[in-house]
Chains A and B, each alone.
Chain A
């Protein structure tokens, strides 16, 4: 015990040990030497990639992990550089971040908030991760975001679509590149009206938990604003594997559009069931019956197979876009892994680059510096067109894609076709919009 030294993990202020009301809480490690949690002192910096590796979203997590590894390669100057060549900010040199080689650790969220927090904590406490990225559900994103805020590291959210992530549950240390349920509604509604007319009667099946509710609310609001009527909204238990008893009454309800506010396995099964019941071949109220899946993902589309033909939905990004950023990313991802990336992979890739770039521009890994560099940052060249990281709620604003299940796919990957690229202006909203109100970003927390 005699040779104990003060190092990067540092020591606790003796005052705290005494337990006499300390002014500042010490979180994880309090330190007199380090300026912030996990300040990198060696020649490398550690990023934490927290994705679902077991459970129903394992494939999506795997895709995210591939993209994150690719991003690390590009940051370290290996491979073809990918989007570093097209990114509008030129701060990144391909020599790591701030000259430090980028290393990463991985964890398994299991798509459970508890497990996700445990694995994020382990990366922060044990491996010294300075940023956490990834995830495939909103519950996990909110839970991990809260943790990162308390711990004093940056959280770059992966796939999270609920409004709350940058609404009620927004945090200063958390950033979301992915779009949200409100944007899905705003982007989809005009296309729906154009394709199906303004006099439609919609029937909603909604996964009975937070994300499902916010999406239902968003879609109902934006379609009703265009003159649609909502016949019924039915909540389905998350654990459901068979939706026949929910689909069966749809045809006889007077509705002519079915909206499936489901994701993942729920969506694959409910859509498969709806097709089985022959809904798309029917005529109701004198119109062809239609199905809408507001949130699409490539992996779910693959799982649903033939059934998605002609079904409309929205996406954050798709590999078939033709801008330079997309082309560069698809090329390096495709050549390395032999398949095009999914939109959750793209969001994780972009988030990792954005974080690295913010560190470079801020000249520090200090979370407060990074937050300042990311807030109201305008950029382009990462695949989504001109994008704005809004400072008020840490939500990215960019074009949203409306896609449709391809009627004649030519290979395993073009199962979705882009119908419209909804311009950014159309999906923007006020930070105090009722669907997002009630949250508080708080102050950035550097930890120590």
Chain B
């Protein structure tokens, strides 16, 4: 029982990242009809926003300490971050400690801008082109973006630890009557889950309860008619692209403490996020979220010893297996609208 609960928890947590990335991807597809292979790269850029902020906070001046030596035997250069010098050691250390949550504030404008520039500068020219061209150009963009990040940050993963108070783990099991150590879960992963729910909630409320959102939804359903009503739907879609980029970016910022960011993390998520979108139903926002969490949970269960001994290698192929089964039995995906790309 506790093992099952643990894997469900785990799946929800894995699913949070899937859902957030797929949400943006399906939003772009639903509004602009563009298959965006650079979406994983946006997730990666988000994570590197946190890395950058952490590096900025850690910008240091050097003082030479004659009493210590470095690896070549020369006097050691001690580095003190400017933040600590300006705000005093304690406040400075706290700022550095909280750099990941602070990076959210830093990432939102950057990601909106990146999304805006990407749509206006590149994607715009590809609305009328075949999907294959869109895939190729966004794939090229993804390569370029990740190579640029690699050039500046290197290929090695970079640790972005969570704030001290939010690191470590809690024993959830004892709270609901299990033995100690039965359900231990890291605090930051719970934070991530909550964060994902908040973002998903925000996106849905935005689309549901604002006029802007209403127009966008109308545009998703019937772009032409909305255009005929004299509404500049393109402009709104551009903004939605920015929002989709911001969602992916924020997912990346908060993901850093779970697994240290590296330049190819976007590509690692790319195939998977497409599978999530398709399983959920192309262009369906609730579908993307549902499929994200569902696949997260299935993946978690497939990695248990029980599953891998029953079917060897199931943990390697579960995602694809699910995609194949869903596509063959219910081609419009779990929550896709009837008639949308259903053949």
Interface residues of A (CB under 8 A from B): 55-59, 62, 208, 232, 234-237, 239, 241-242, 244-246, 248-249, 251-252, 265, 268-269, 272-273, 276-278, 281-282, 284, 299, 302-307, 319-320, 330-331, 334-335, 340, 410-411, 413-414
B200 to chain A, nearest CB (A): 19
Mark contacts of B1-17 with chain A using CB atoms, 8 A cut-off: 1 yes-contact digit, 0 otherwise. 01100110011011000
Mark contacts of B243-262 with chain A using CB atoms, 8 A cut-off: 1 yes-contact digit, 0 otherwise. 00000000000000011101
- For the complex, what is the distance from the CA of A272 to the CA of B269, rounded to whole Å? 19
A-B contact pairs, 28 of them (CB 8 A): A55-B155, A57-B155, A232-B305, A234-B308, A236-B315, A245-B7, A245-B11, A245-B303, A245-B304, A246-B303, A248-B10, A248-B184, A268-B260, A269-B157, A272-B258, A273-B258, A273-B259, A276-B186, A278-B169, A278-B184, A299-B156, A304-B159, A305-B161, A307-B159, A334-B72, A411-B70, A411-B71, A414-B71
- For the complex, what is the distance from the CA of A55 to the CA of B2, rounded to whole Å? 39
A340 touches B71 (CB 8 A): yes
A239 touches B268 (CB 8 A): yes
Name the B residues within 8 Å of A307 (CB-CB).
159
B300 close to A (CB within 8 Å): yes
B316 touches A56 (CB 8 A): no
- For the complex, what is the distance from the CA of A304 to the CA of B168, rounded to whole Å? 16
B262 touches A56 (CB 8 A): yes
A241 touches B186 (CB 8 A): no
A59 touches B156 (CB 8 A): yes
A265 touches B189 (CB 8 A): no
Name the B residues within 8 Å of A251 (CB-CB).
181, 184
A209 to chain B, nearest CB (A): 11
A319 touches B71 (CB 8 A): yes
Name the A residues within 8 Å of B124 (CB-CB).
none
A276 touches B188 (CB 8 A): yes
- For the complex, what is the distance from the CA of A308 to the CA of B72, rounded to whole Å? 24
**Nearest 5 A/B pairs, CB to CB:** A305-B159, A58-B155, A278-B169, A276-B186, A245-B300
Name the A residues within 8 Å of B154 (CB-CB).
58-59
Name the B residues within 8 Å of A236 (CB-CB).
303, 315
B7 touches A242 (CB 8 A): no
Name the B residues within 8 Å of A56 (CB-CB).
155, 262, 264
- For the complex, what is the distance from the CA of A276 to the CA of B315, rounded to whole Å? 22
B168 touches A252 (CB 8 A): no
Closest B residue to A269 by beta carbon equals: B259
- For the complex, what is the distance from the CA of A331 to the CA of B70, rounded to whole Å? 12
B260 touches A208 (CB 8 A): no
B169-194 residues at the A interface, CB under 8 angstroms = 169, 181-182, 184-186, 188-189
- For the complex, what is the distance from the CA of A330 to the CA of B70, rounded to whole Å? 12
Name the A residues within 8 Å of B10 (CB-CB).
244-245, 248
Name the B residues within 8 Å of A242 (CB-CB).
14, 258-259
B305 touches A234 (CB 8 A): yes
A249 touches B304 (CB 8 A): yes
B7 touches A248 (CB 8 A): yes
Name the B residues within 8 Å of A303 (CB-CB).
156-159, 260, 262
- For the complex, what is the distance from the CA of A331 to the CA of B155, rounded to whole Å? 25
Name the B residues within 8 Å of A304 (CB-CB).
159, 260
- For the complex, what is the distance from the CA of A58 to the CA of B154, rounded to whole Å? 8
B131 close to A (CB within 8 Å): no
CB < 8 Å neighbour of A277 from B7, B169, B265: B169
- For the complex, what is the distance from the CA of A45 to the CA of B86, rounded to whole Å? 57
CB < 8 Å neighbour of B315 from A237, A249, A340, A410: A237
- For the complex, what is the distance from the CA of A224 to the CA of B206, rounded to whole Å? 59
Closest A residue to B303 by beta carbon equals: A245
Closest A residue to B76 by beta carbon equals: A411
Given contacts A244-B186, A411-B76, 18 further A-B contacts (CB under 8 A): A55-B155, A56-B262, A232-B305, A241-B265, A244-B14, A245-B299, A245-B303, A246-B303, A276-B169, A276-B189, A276-B258, A278-B168, A278-B184, A303-B157, A304-B260, A320-B71, A334-B72, A411-B71
Closest A residue to B181 by beta carbon equals: A251
- For the complex, what is the distance from the CA of A331 to the CA of B154, rounded to whole Å? 24
Name the B residues within 8 Å of A281 (CB-CB).
168
B120 to chain A, nearest CB (A): 30
Name the A residues within 8 Å of B337 (CB-CB).
none
